[in-house]
Amino acid sequence: MEFISSWIANIILFIMLAAVVELLLPQSSMQKYVKLVLGLFMIVIILTPIFKFISLDPKEIIKEFENESLYAHADTQNSLKEKKIEIQAQQRAYILEQTAVQMEKYVEKELMNSFGYAIGEIRFDFEEDQLELPMEYDRLMEQMKRIVVILEAGEKGDVEPVREVVVQPVRSNEYDEFNGEQIIQFLSQRWGIDKEKIEIQVEGGNGGN
């Protein structure tokens, strides 16, 4: 691209120079010879890319072409890899969100009737590079390092839109008068999850695991 730009610039510059020379030349028999010489120079400048191509070593041409092909292939591979990672992240977020919704629906009535709490949010804490989706529910739960359940006291009002699953570090809170152990035991049995992986927090209150 740089060579082509330089070549075009040389042609334009030569045309301008030739025009100036013609204006300065007096009307004489020499003028046609000068025009002939200028025309020959113009032809040489126009044919410069061809001369350059002929003078190149074929091996160098092939090597340069291969390098450009490799760079293009590498860029394509990187782009595809990034797109794959993006799609996998979206898929993972969707599956975890749907899993959280189903887990909540499975226990919501009994949790409210037995303990007076509703689930406000479920957070999954896991090693992202070790979580391969899709997978069976039991295997998915095995991959989780911790499941944080945010509880809300009393009945829920209007149905809220499904919250986005948030993957973030979780806090450990001390028990107050909140009987979290029974709720953890209940959730562990209903969800089929090791109770050591479950942590509960109460909005505006305390929780534990």
Q: How many CB atoms lie within 10 A of CB 12?
A: 9
The C-alpha atoms of residue 131 and residue 124 are separated, in whole angstroms, by: 11
Q: Is the pLDDT of residue 80 over 80?
A: yes
pLDDT in tens, 85-142: 888 788 888 888 999 999 999 999 999 998 899 999 999 888 766 666 667 888 888 8
What confidence tier does 54 reach under pLDDT thresholds 50, 70, 90? low
pLDDT of residue 155: 58
The C-alpha atoms of residue 100 and residue 114 are separated, in whole angstroms, by: 21
pLDDT of residue 2: 66
Q: Is the pLDDT of residue 199 over 90?
A: yes
pLDDT of residue 33: 74
Distances (CA, A) of 118 to 140, 151, 204: 23, 6, 14
What confidence tier does 56 reach under pLDDT thresholds 50, 70, 90? low
The C-alpha atoms of residue 138 and residue 191 are separated, in whole angstroms, by: 9
Q: Closest Cα partner for 163 from 96, 117, 111?
A: 96
Which of 113 and 3 is assigned the larger pLDDT? 113
pLDDT of residue 171: 40
Domain boundaries, the chain: 2-81, 93-202
Q: Is the pLDDT of residue 186 over 90?
A: yes
In this prediction, residues 35-44 reach a mean pLDDT of 79
The tokens describing 187, both together, are: 């959730």
Q: Is the pLDDT of residue 43 over 90?
A: no
Write out the DSSP string of 163-205.
PPP----------SS--HHHHHHHHHHHHT--GGGEEEEETTS
- What sections of 116-163 are H helices per DSSP? 137-143
pLDDT in tens, 126-175: 876 666 666 788 888 888 889 999 999 875 444 444 444 444 433 434 33
- Edge-first strand order for the sheet with 198-202 is 117-126, 144-153, 198-202
Which of 198 and 17 is assigned the larger pLDDT? 198
The whole model's pTM is what? Answer: 0.51
Q: What is the CATH number assigned to the segment(s) 93-202?
A: 3.30.300
Tokens 């009393």: give the residue.
154
What backbone phi and psi angles, to 5 degrees, belong to 165?
Answer: -70, 125
pLDDT of residue 41: 79
What is the sign, positive or negative, of the torsion defined by CA atoms of 131, 96, 191, 173? Answer: positive
What is the tally of helices (H) and strands (E) in the chain? 6, 3
pLDDT of residue 5: 76
Beta pairing class for 198-202 and 117-126: unpaired
pLDDT of residue 207: 54
Residue 45 in 3-state DSSP? helix
